[in-house]
Structure 1
Amino acid sequence: MSALENSRVTGVLLDVSGVLKDGETAIPGSVEAIRKLREAGLTIRFLTNETQMTRRKLAASLIDLGFCLQERDIIPPCPALVTLLKRENMRPHLLVHPDILPEFDGIDKSNPNCVVVSDAADNFTYENLNEAFRVLINMEKPRLFSLGRGKYYSDNGGLTLDVGAFTAALEYAADIKAEVIGKPQPEFFMSVLRDMRVEPQEAVMIGDDIVGDVGGAQNCGLTGVLVRTGKYRSSDEKHPTVHPDAIVDDLAQGVDLILKSRK
């Protein structure tokens, strides 16, 4: 944990699932930890690959759990993807969770020239995956967009397959490389830092995903902190390529460490 002792931190990026909450329950100490960060005057953003609900609904659910935040503080990948689709005149075939379909209102979906896949949960049926594959394989210039690349996440105390596993199946079958929007892509982190007006060396990312959160942040020059909550497994501490700047038991301990480093 020494990597943070002399750090001048002005911005904190936080994962949501597995750090703030597990399923529909706030992780003990996390609500108070956010309050401490705000009282210290730090700039906070909630950087998430959440694609089972809209940003508005996610904000409302976190506020209901007691977290002090605003909708604009939450940065999911879907708005960035919608901007890209509009800019490049893309017409998506959607393999997404039904609850985020409103995010794509106003986007032309006729005669698709790309496929978008997110954490579709129960929508990941053989039929739906096969349909997405057929759309891809019949395109002259296929493009596959994936909202994140996580292998799994923690939901109500159990591990659940994430979008990355299903993206990999489509990549393999259609012989195509997906374009990932969200963590761990560098532009996802850098766009948030620009919005925060914080330099990478002044920012800390706290997450439970050793590759997507910690590794992705470190690749952009941020300090990466791993929490032992959510999807964390003890083997993460011996990852062959990603070495966290700090490992803490939970968000509360991580926040205490940050605040101590600023004194």
Structure 2
Amino acid sequence: MNIRPRLVLFDLDGTLYVGDTPIPGAIDCLAALRAQGIALRFLTNTTTKSQQQLVGQLRAMGFTLGDNELISAPVAARLALEKMQQQAGRQLRIWPLVADAIQPDFSNFVIDEQQPDYVVLGDIGDRWDLALINRLFQVMHSGAELIALHKGRFWQTGDGLKADIGFFVAGLEYVCSKNALVMGKPNRDFFQLILDSAGVAASDALMVGDDIDSDVGGAQQMGIVGCLVKTGKFRASYFAQSSVCPDMVLDSVADLTVR
């Protein structure tokens, strides 16, 4: 498929690198795209590291990117909450159930674990237990709304695939009869935020990722061309049964060429 995008969007973990190791050819691929004058943006649902940490991690691996070229789900959540706070005309009360590294992203809001307006849910590792689930059930049953930084089903680790926070988000939605406001991929507003940051229309953009649902499916619903790479969390069996049909399928990001 021949495409000449003005903007290429990249997923991070599993697409450009795995762990702390770049995918072979990924760094050269980005350099070639920049040399052609194509804008780049980096999207991630990672919620265990701050924006600065993620940018620093990529640079340490040899990638070149600007501070504002990477947009994470926590940043999108903060922007959305700031907008809702402005509309409410008062400070919002939130319970940010997120990793310590991104707690400062929500310092402009009142922290209230008893009667929050919103529960902000991210990756918290082994902190999950039945007592916490019941506390969340109680505050949501009393009126708090749920903001999920993403709703991923599973993710790739050095030890293989592991269940992601979509497990808990879906469970809370079910027991509380509420729908979460999902901030990261495949949320349409998240993709629009990225497009707006580059001033590019969806029809002039290409998304490259290893997640057929969040990366490819999320992009295609916006009219963005979706490219699936067979690295990271890609599994042939899952791909075969998916209803999402990528516009392109590549063995690796290193095989991406545009013209």
Q: Normalised by the size of structure 2, how large is the TM-score? A: 0.92
Query: Paired residue for 2:138?
Result: 134
2:164 to 162, 169, 194: 162
- The one-letter code sitting in structure 2 at the alignment partner of 1:131 is R
Counterpart secondary structure, 1:170:
helix
Q: How far did residue 186 of structure 1 move? A: 1.2
Gap regions ≥5 residues in structure 2 = 86-91
The alpha-carbon distance between structure 1 residues 206 and 37, as it changes in their structure 2 partners (threshold 3 A), is same
Query: Paired residue for 1:178?
Result: 180
Q: How far did residue 179 of structure 1 move? A: 0.9
The alpha-carbon distance between structure 1 residues 202 and 127, as it changes in their structure 2 partners (threshold 3 A), is same
1:186–1:220 contact (8 Å) kept in structure 2: yes
Greater alpha carbon shift after TM alignment, 217-226 vs 113-122: 113-122
1:96 to 82, 98, 114: 98
Query: Paired residue for 1:39?
Result: 35
The alpha-carbon distance between structure 1 residues 201 and 86, as it changes in their structure 2 partners (threshold 3 A), is closer
- The one-letter code sitting in structure 1 at the alignment partner of 2:133 is L
1:11 to 7, 11, 23: 7
The alpha-carbon distance between structure 1 residues 127 and 70, as it changes in their structure 2 partners (threshold 3 A), is farther
The alpha-carbon distance between structure 1 residues 30 and 125, as it changes in their structure 2 partners (threshold 3 A), is farther
Query: Paired residue for 2:89?
Result: none
Q: Does 1:214 align with 2:210?
A: no
Give the alignment of 1:223-262 within 5 angstroms: 223-253=225-255, 255-256=256-257, 258=258, 262=259
Distance 1:101 1:166 in 2: 20
1:207–1:225 contact (8 Å) kept in structure 2: yes
Q: How far did residue 157 of structure 1 move? A: 5.1
- The one-letter code sitting in structure 2 at the alignment partner of 1:40 is Q
Query: Paired residue for 2:206?
Result: 204
Distance 2:252 2:212 in 1: 14
Distance 2:219 2:37 in 1: 22
Query: Paired residue for 1:120?
Result: 124
- The one-letter code sitting in structure 2 at the alignment partner of 1:34 is L
1:205–1:225 contact (8 Å) kept in structure 2: yes
Q: How far did residue 183 of structure 1 move? A: 0.8
- The one-letter code sitting in structure 2 at the alignment partner of 1:184 is P
Q: How far did residue 176 of structure 1 move? A: 1.2
Distance 1:30 1:21 in 2: 8
The CA RMSD over aligned residues, in Å, is 1.5
Q: Does 1:29 align with 2:25?
A: yes
Counterpart secondary structure, 1:75:
strand
Give the alignment of 1:44-59 within 5 angstroms: 44-59=40-55
- The one-letter code sitting in structure 1 at the alignment partner of 2:78 is V
Counterpart secondary structure, 1:153:
strand
1:187 to 178, 184, 189: 189
Distance 2:25 2:237 in 1: 24
2:63 to 64, 67, 72: 67
Q: How far did residue 126 of structure 1 move? A: 3.1
Aligned residues: 251
Q: How far did residue 36 of structure 1 move? A: 1.5
Gap regions ≥5 residues in structure 1 = none
Distance 1:196 1:171 in 2: 34
- The one-letter code sitting in structure 1 at the alignment partner of 2:130 is Y
Q: Percent identity?
A: 36
Query: Paired residue for 2:88?
Result: none
Q: Normalised by the size of structure 1, how large is the TM-score? A: 0.90
Distance 1:204 1:146 in 2: 25
Q: How far did residue 59 of structure 1 move? A: 0.4
Distance 1:88 1:173 in 2: 25
Counterpart secondary structure, 1:88:
helix
Query: Paired residue for 1:79?
Result: 75
The alpha-carbon distance between structure 1 residues 46 and 200, as it changes in their structure 2 partners (threshold 3 A), is same
* 1:185-222 alpha-carbon deviations (Å, 9 max, x no partner): 11211221122121212111000110100011011111
